[in-house]
């Protein structure tokens, strides 16, 4: 793999989680083996990666090569097409890693027709960055990651309400990082009432996600910490028509149908939330799994056995499913973090 294309992919990777329903893209411009410009798409509605890089390179861009993690766009969206800007800049050649299946007209062809050398150098790592973006183009649903912290035998709490202490502090830090890579976190009213969580990244260096609570009740206790931050109001979706915001609670009500999960997800995607993580208790977690709404599963398993008869297990359904009807995933990777096992799985 070309080192400059690798750098462009690194940039795209670095910016994941802050471009909303847009893909995260990196671009690097090189002339005579020297990098003369680079950039990345920072936020939906703002400049694309190629434009940032061209701006840095200025007039030097003439006869240079631009490396981009994703095929340059060819359409007028919120910003003019990057392919046009590349042509106007006098760039000599374009190298990109992933073909943009969502483009009506190929950027590759548009550039080629303007006399630019274009080459597609496929990269698995870059492809993995855009899987969820391409999926969303079809489904119009956010990419949903379900995060579960559990004992080896599938329990997420004990009678002593110890759900926070099942996994290690290193796992907690990993979860804070995960939050920063998502546009929003969905949780359930019960989790908020029982655990009083913040669901932020607890770091000034990490971007906080939007926090979304699905509840069937009509208000929340005034003192809950999650509602205290006036700079980051919480979205509440309640099934109650009479949801009441108490004094000093920073809450936005956006929907009265918190229990129709697929509708909730359509609505969130339309509002620009493309990467969503679910951190919730067994009731909500089980609904997401049972309704096939989980694209990615991140399970932290602590090497301990809690036992019991079924209480506190993260996946609960009325009946035991036969294997032909069980929910299938594929293991993508495993890693040991602070003595616990992190397993990443994707919907099969």
**Nearer to a second copy among residue 2 and residue 316 (C-beta):** 316
Report the nearest approach of a second copy to the CB of residue 265 (Å). 19
Q: How far apart are CA 82 and CA 244, in angstroms?
A: 47
**Nearer to a second copy among residue 255 and residue 286 (C-beta):** 286
Q: How far apart are CA 256 and CA 264, in angstroms?
A: 10
Report the nearest approach of a second copy to the CB of residue 342 (Å). 10
Report the nearest approach of a second copy to the CB of residue 145 (Å). 15
Per this entry, what is the length of the chain? Answer: 348
Report the nearest approach of a second copy to the CB of residue 166 (Å). 7
Q: What is the largest CA-CA distance in the chain?
A: 70
Q: Which residues are catalytic?
A: 50
CA dihedral 160, 281, 226, 132 (to 10 degrees): 150
**Nearer to a second copy among residue 41 and residue 342 (C-beta):** 342
Asked if 182 and 201 count as a contact pair (C-beta separation under 8 A), the reply is no
Report the nearest approach of a second copy to the CB of residue 292 (Å). 11
Q: Would you tell me which residues interact with a second copy (CB under 8 A)?
A: 151-155, 158-160, 162, 165-166, 286, 289-290, 297, 299, 303-323, 326-331, 334, 336, 339-341, 343, 345, 348
Helix (H, G, I), strand (E, B) or coil at 83: helix
Q: How far apart are CA 228 and CA 248, in angstroms?
A: 7
Integer-rounded Cα Rg, in Å, for the chain is: 23
From the list 59, 42, 39, the residue with the least C-alpha distance to 50 is 39
**Nearer to a second copy among residue 59 and residue 318 (C-beta):** 318
Helix (H, G, I), strand (E, B) or coil at 94: strand
**Nearer to a second copy among residue 198 and residue 337 (C-beta):** 337
Q: How far apart are CA 98 and CA 71, in angstroms?
A: 6
């Amino acid at each position: 793999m070309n080192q400059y294309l690798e750098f462009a992919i690194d940039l795209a990777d670095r910016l994941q989680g802050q471009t909303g329903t847009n893909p995260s893209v990196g671009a690097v411009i090189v002339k005579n083996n020297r990098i003369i410009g680079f950039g990345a798409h920072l936020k939906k509605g703002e400049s694309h990666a190629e434009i940032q890089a061209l701006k840095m390179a200025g007039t030097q861009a003439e006869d240079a090569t631009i490396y981009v993690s994703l095929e340059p766009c060819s359409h007028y969206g919120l910003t003019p097409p990057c392919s046009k800007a590349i042509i106007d800049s006098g760039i000599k050649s374009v190298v990109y890693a992933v073909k943009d299946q969502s483009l009506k007209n190929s950027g590759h062809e548009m550039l080629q027709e303007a006399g630019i050398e274009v080459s597609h150098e496929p990269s698995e790592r870059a492809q993995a960055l855009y899987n969820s973006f391409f999926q969303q183009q079809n489904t119009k649903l956010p990419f949903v990651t379900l995060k579960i912290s559990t004992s080896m035998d599938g329990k997420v709490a004990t009678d002593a309400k110890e759900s926070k202490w099942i996994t290690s502090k290193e796992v907690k830090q990993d979860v804070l990082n995960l939050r920063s890579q998502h546009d929003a976190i969905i949780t359930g009213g019960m989790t908020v009432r029982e655990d009083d969580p913040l669901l932020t990244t607890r770091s000034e260096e990490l971007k906080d996600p939007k926090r979304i609570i699905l509840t069937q009740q009509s208000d929340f206790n005034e003192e809950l910490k999650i509602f205290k931050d006036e700079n980051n109001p919480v979205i509440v979706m309640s099934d109650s028509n009479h949801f009441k915001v108490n004094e000093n609670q920073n809450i936005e009500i956006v929907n009265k149908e918190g229990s129709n999960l697929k509708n909730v997800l359509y609505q969130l995607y339309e509002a620009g939330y493309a990467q969503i993580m679910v951190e919730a208790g067994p009731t909500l977690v089980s609904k997401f799994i049972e309704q096939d709404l989980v694209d990615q599963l991140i399970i932290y398993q602590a090497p301990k056995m809690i036992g019991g008869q079924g209480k506190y297990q993260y996946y609960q359904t009325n009946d035991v499913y036969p294997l032909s009807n069980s929910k299938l995933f594929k293991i993508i990777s495993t890693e040991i973090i602070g003595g616990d096992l992190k397993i990443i799985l994707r919907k099969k």
